Structures are given as structure tokens and as C-alpha cells.
Amino acid sequence: MQKQKSKIAYILSQFPETHETFILREIIELRKNKINLELFSLKKCRDKVIHPQAQKFMKQTHYSSILSFKVIKAFFYFIWNKPMEFILLIPYLIKSNFSSFEFLVKSLAIVPISLYYAKLMRDLDITHLHAHWATIPTTSAIIVSKILGIPFSFTAHAWDIFLPNPMLKEKVRCAEFVATCTGYNKNYLDSLLDYKENDKIILNYHGIDFDTLPENHKDIEDNLILSIGRLCEQKGFPYLVDACSVLRDQGYQFKCIIIGEGPDRKALTSQIEQSELQEYIVLTGTKPQSYVFDMFNKARMFVLPCVISKNGDRDGIPNVIIEALALRTPVISTTVSGVPEIIYNNITGVTVSPRNSQQLAEAIISFLNNPDVAEIYVKNGIDLVEEKFDIKKNIRELVSIFIDRAN
């Protein structure tokens, strides 16, 4: 792949982010494909666990606090040198976010650091902006785009388009293109366009680099059920706990390990204690990827009972499902959002109705009682992952898009 003249700025909410390995993998592959990429993070990394691959990129990432001297200097630089663009920017943001006080405040608050990054990008000869998440990072991209007069695009994932987002339609309208990681998302974003633009919304699945996966050496621990994800409503962990109660009551011996951290830890811990499942369920907290891969090798199955949360939040295609299939672990999930695009029911795994603990328990029991059937699902799942979720192939498609649209 020949080196391109374009120079792309990636605007990220926080880099690195432990749960956003899909963004890290994308950055790695873009660099491998000789895409000239600069990283701009709106927040400094606050995670306690940082993947080793991300650490080297942190030294190459631009960070800033909102009220640093450089930010204030850039603010007045653009007032002086781009007065018309600056004057029009503020009422534009107010008008676009008038229906949401929260988004209005956040959009105005992000102006100073966006102007600072705009000055850096001008000095770095950036020719195209790309943001991850359709929320504040893309708002920042619009600010920089309007100040510098360069095009922008963004990647929409899941919650960022389904939660209240007053500027979403405007962002889709103004973007050079919008990438998204599920057909489910694409259909929704297409519906926001006033007229059909066949190439505006682009489906580009996340994926994994098979070369970086550990050697597959299944050493299954008896009836180990694995789940991974942020401890929050849309992951549906309370329904997994309830399903474990059913298994226990039916006399099954098992261990359920849930890897992840989040705001629902206290509630989940209380549920586990009230159900007297302490000897069956373990909440490990956040763990490094090496530990996660080791658990995949030991797990009898991977279970993630995704739901749509009360405020509309939802997953797209959880990256851990792709990893589970690639590491030969049978998967049980739900019919939420883009999950059925990878878990074809009774073909590559099993999907059940969301918020249905009984169905979930029955699916787990079927895997425990019929390991040969689960193995067939695994084989089908690996074939699907290799076909649709190989990150090298998918990033080549994204590279082609950047080459076509970012020059």
C-alpha cells in the first residue's frame, strides 16, 4: 500500500480506554497501512489497566487540559485571525444543541480545547478529521472543521446514536462520510438522511487480528461460564445472575466468572449475596487482556445477555463476542441490536430474548448437556469471524475509504 499525501487527525474522547480495544486495533492497523495519523484525546487516560499495545501510542497522543495557557492562547489566536468563523461558531452550537441543556453545555465547554487542537492541526498540516463516537468527539470535529475549513468524518458505534443526541442529524448531514460497525446502526443512520445518499453511511465491522491471538490450547475447567463487560445496565448481568440461580436450583455444579468493572458492581454484589451465589459467581474487576485470553481457553462457554437500557443505551456487536468465537468458545447472547449479525441462532451460537433469565438458563443448560452441538456452533462461528471480522481485511476497506474521501 503506497503512502498517501493525506494527513488524518483522530479525535477521541479518551485514549486509551480499556474497553475500547476495537479503536486501538483500528489505529494499529491504519498505521501498518501507512496512513499518516495524529491522535488527539479530549481527556487524559484515567484507566488503571492499560493494554501494553496502547502504551506506546500514549507518547504520540496530543493531550491538554481545558484551561491551560496554550488553550487560552489558541482561543484568542482564532478570535483575532478567524473572527467570522469564530463569531458564527457559537450561535451555531447553541442552535444545534438548544433542545438539550447538557449537550449545549458540553459543546460550549469543548470549544477552547478544540480551538487549541485546531491550531496544532493547522501547524501539522492535517487534511482530514475523523472522530470516534457521534457525541462530543464529533462535536469537536465539527468545531475544528468549521474553523480550519477541512472535511471531517466520524465512526458511530451504538449508544452514541441511540441516546439523546441533538446534533446527530446535523453531524450526519455535514460529514464527508459516516462509518458504523453494524448493519443495525447503518439502517438507523440511513433513516436520518433527508434524501438517499447511498455512499454516505458505510458499514465497516470491527474485527480482530488473528496474528495477535494467543495459541489456542483449550484447557476447559468443568462448567466454567465466562462473561466480560462493563458492569452497567446494557450488559444484562442481573439476568445472568438469575440464570445461575436456576442452574444452582437444578443441581448443576458450575463457576461463573464476570470480568469487568462499572457502576453496577454494588447492585450485582448485593444480588449475588441475596441469591446466596457467592460460591458460584466471581466478579473479578478489570483484568489485562492476557488474563482474559486465559479465561477464554478455560471457559466452557461465553455468555453476554445484552439488553437495551431504560435510557436507550445498547451495544452494537460487543468485541468480546468476536474474541470468544475466534478463541473457540461457544457463545450465548440476546437478539439486541447488532448481535444477530454475528450470532446466528442455532448456527454460530444461541440468542435468547433480552431480559429473559429462564431462556438464558435453558440455553446454558443446553450447552452443558450437549457439548458436541456447542462445538458445531464454534466451528461455524470461526468461519464467520474469518469471513466478516478479520480486522486486516476490514481496515483495508477503511483505508480505501480514507484514500477516496480524505484527499
pLDDT by residue (tens digit) across 259-280? 999 999 999 999 999 999 999 9
The CATH classification of domain 7-207+390-405, taken from the options 3.30.110.70, 3.40.50.2000, 3.30.1130.10, 3.30.450.20: 3.40.50.2000
CB atoms within 10 A of CB 169: 15
Strand order in the sheet with 61-62: 61-62, 36-43, 7-14, 128-132, 152-156, 178-180, 201-203
What pLDDT was estimated at residue 52?
A: 80
Contact 210, 326 (CB under 8 A): yes
Average pLDDT in the chain: 92
SS3 string, 62-119, reads ECCCCCCHHHHHHHHHHHHHCHHHHHHHHHHHHHHCCCCHHHHHHHHHCHHHHHHHHH
Comparison of pLDDT for 52 and 245, the residue scoring more? 245
Average pLDDT of the residues in 352-363:
98
pTM of the full structure = 0.87
Distances (CA, A) of 362 to 247, 268, 370: 9, 21, 12
What pLDDT was estimated at residue 5?
A: 63
What pLDDT was estimated at residue 4?
A: 44
Q: Is residue 356 over pLDDT 90?
A: yes
Separation of alpha carbons 269 and 309, rounded Å: 20
Q: Is residue 287 over pLDDT 80?
A: yes
Spell out the residues 6+ positions from residue 251 whose beta carbon is closer than 8 angstroms to its own. none
Contact 48, 17 (CB under 8 A): no
- For 290-314, how does the pLDDT look when each residue is reduced to its tens digit (9 = 90+)? 899 999 999 999 999 999 999 989 9
Residue with cell 480495544: 21
What is the residue extent of each domain of the chain? 7-207+390-405, 210-388
pLDDT bucket at 65, cuts 50 / 70 / 90: confident
Q: Which amino acid is at 340?
A: P
Average pLDDT of the residues in 65-69:
81
Spell out the residues 6+ positions from residue 175 whose beta carbon is closer than 8 angstroms to its own. 138, 152, 153, 154, 200
Q: Which amino acid is at 124?
A: L
What pLDDT was estimated at residue 125?
A: 95
The CA-CA-CA angle for residues 39, 41, 46, to 5°, reads 130
What pLDDT was estimated at residue 278?
A: 97
For 370-384, letters b (16+ CB in 10 Å) and e give eeeebeebbebbbeb
CATH classification code of 210-388: 3.40.50.2000
What pLDDT was estimated at residue 3?
A: 44
Q: Provide, rounded to the nearest whole percent, the portion of the chain with pLDDT above 70.
A: 98
CB atoms within 10 A of CB 301: 27
Separation of alpha carbons 109 and 151, rounded Å: 22
